[in-house]
Structure 1
Amino acid sequence: MKRSIAAACVLALLIAVALLTARSTSAGPEKIEFPSSWQSYVLYTIVDRYDVKQYRELYASSQEAVDAMKRGQPLPDRTVLVLTQYKAQTDAQGNPLKDANGRFLKGERIGFTVMEKRQGWGTEYPDDLRNGDWEYSAFGADGRFNANANYKGCFQCHKPHDKQDFVISLAGLMGGGGTTGSGVPDVRISGFSFGPPKATAAPGQAVMWINNDDSPHQVTLTGGSKARGPVLTKGQSYSHTFPTAGTYDYVCGLHPNMKGQIEVK
């Protein structure tokens, strides 16, 4: 009887170890547990998303992670970043209400997106998708895992930002990579949109974009060249010269739903 009990205990232990090992080596959002203590994390930035009428708070699990961001260094192992999403309060016409500082008023919480970094994570992904040691997961407002989130989209969106340890919000703390020189912009980035959405230029003419949003943006051509400008923080600009006639479509590399077009003629 004692041998049977001992054998059962050993078998249970082996199964538990196997499950833990499988969890630590297999890819997927299920690796990340909901960070129930997220409210004790460091709030490092707030973003108003005009395009989806959301108020967003971004938290880091440690001050060391925030300090690494500011220095432009890779974030420490086991860092957890939490994006908390809220509906913006709106008026009767559906326009977001703002406080005295022009910031959206925070409404109902609608969900969480979480990034977690662990040494050795990501090895299962192909090189064209892997984001270093990062994994992504999403949770509802109640903290329940969201199996229907577009996780591949997370990897694709963050992939071009390997020099920022794949953390898009890092640009705001580092100061971005654009210029702050004078000049009249051809396109203004404001309210998560390009204005005008369609602009014209002559061959060989430089087109200038300036970011008027609190959120960083990045001009990215979608044609054959796929030229990508620096990440622009508020007040920074970027210029690109189009040598030949044609129609050039572009998006924001950080927010692909933002689209614009330059017609060169």
Structure 2
Amino acid sequence: MIARSMAAWMAALTLAIAVPGDAARGAPAVHTVVIEGMRFIPETLELRAGDTVVWRNRDPFPHTATADSKGGPASPAIAAGASWSFKAAQRGRYPYLCTLHRTMRATLVIR
């Protein structure tokens, strides 16, 4: 009986953590873009103004995340194994690229 109650409690706790309650209420969220294999993953990321995006470089060489237009990300070189963050402020669609490897492209959509 105690084991079943504990299992039910754990299941409820897991569900509460898995449901993005803060995002539904409008609290800022943190999103991750992984840089790996000469790609930005995900290639398109939708987020809200006020959210933060963290780029994590898992490649063995540096990259940047630089938008084509003002209001998007403009990172310095992100070293291998390092990360860089950007707080989304202006709504819009921001295509960005790695200025060191111009074939690497992705898009932030800020709502």
TM-score in terms of structure 1 length: 0.29
- Is 1:207–2:53 an aligned residue pair? yes
Provide the identity percentage. 30
- Displacement after TM superposition at 1:206 (Å): 1.1
CA distance in 2, matches of 1:254, 1:194: 13
Structure 2 segments unaligned to the other structure (5+ residues)? 1-29
- Displacement after TM superposition at 1:228 (Å): 2.3
Higher RCO structure (Cα 8 Å, ≥6 apart): 2
Q: What is the aligned-residue RMSD (CA, Å)?
A: 1.7
Corresponding position of 1:260 = 106
Q: Tell me, what secondary structure is at the counterpart of 1:186?
A: strand
Corresponding position of 1:194 = 40
- Displacement after TM superposition at 1:227 (Å): 4.8
CA distance in 1, matches of 2:105, 2:51: 21
4+ runs of 1 displaced by more than 4 Å? none
Q: Tell me, what secondary structure is at the counterpart of 1:259?
A: strand
Corresponding position of 2:16 = none
- Displacement after TM superposition at 1:230 (Å): 1.7
- Aligned length in residues: 82
TM-score in terms of structure 2 length: 0.67
- Displacement after TM superposition at 1:224 (Å): 3.0
- Displacement after TM superposition at 1:242 (Å): 1.5
- Displacement after TM superposition at 1:257 (Å): 0.9
CA distance in 2, matches of 1:205, 1:185: 8
Structure 1 segments unaligned to the other structure (5+ residues)? 1-183
Instruction: Please say if residues 185 and 210 of structure 1, whose CA atoms lie closer than 8 Å, have aligned partners that are also in contact.
Output: no
Q: Tell me, what secondary structure is at the counterpart of 2:75?
A: coil
Q: Tell me, what secondary structure is at the counterpart of 1:250?
A: strand
Corresponding position of 1:238 = 84
- Displacement after TM superposition at 1:248 (Å): 1.0
Instruction: Please say if residues 56 and 83 of structure 2, whose CA atoms lie closer than 8 Å, have aligned partners that are also in contact.
Output: yes
- Is 1:222–2:105 an aligned residue pair? no
Instruction: Please say if residues 186 and 199 of structure 1, whose CA atoms lie closer than 8 Å, have aligned partners that are also in contact.
Output: no
Change (3 A) 1:185 1:235: farther
What one-letter code is carried by the residue in structure 2 that aligns with 1:253? T
**Which has the larger strand fraction?**
2
What one-letter code is carried by the residue in structure 1 that aligns with 2:41? G
CA distance in 2, matches of 1:263, 1:195: 14
Instruction: Please say if residues 248 and 261 of structure 1, whose CA atoms lie closer than 8 Å, have aligned partners that are also in contact.
Output: yes
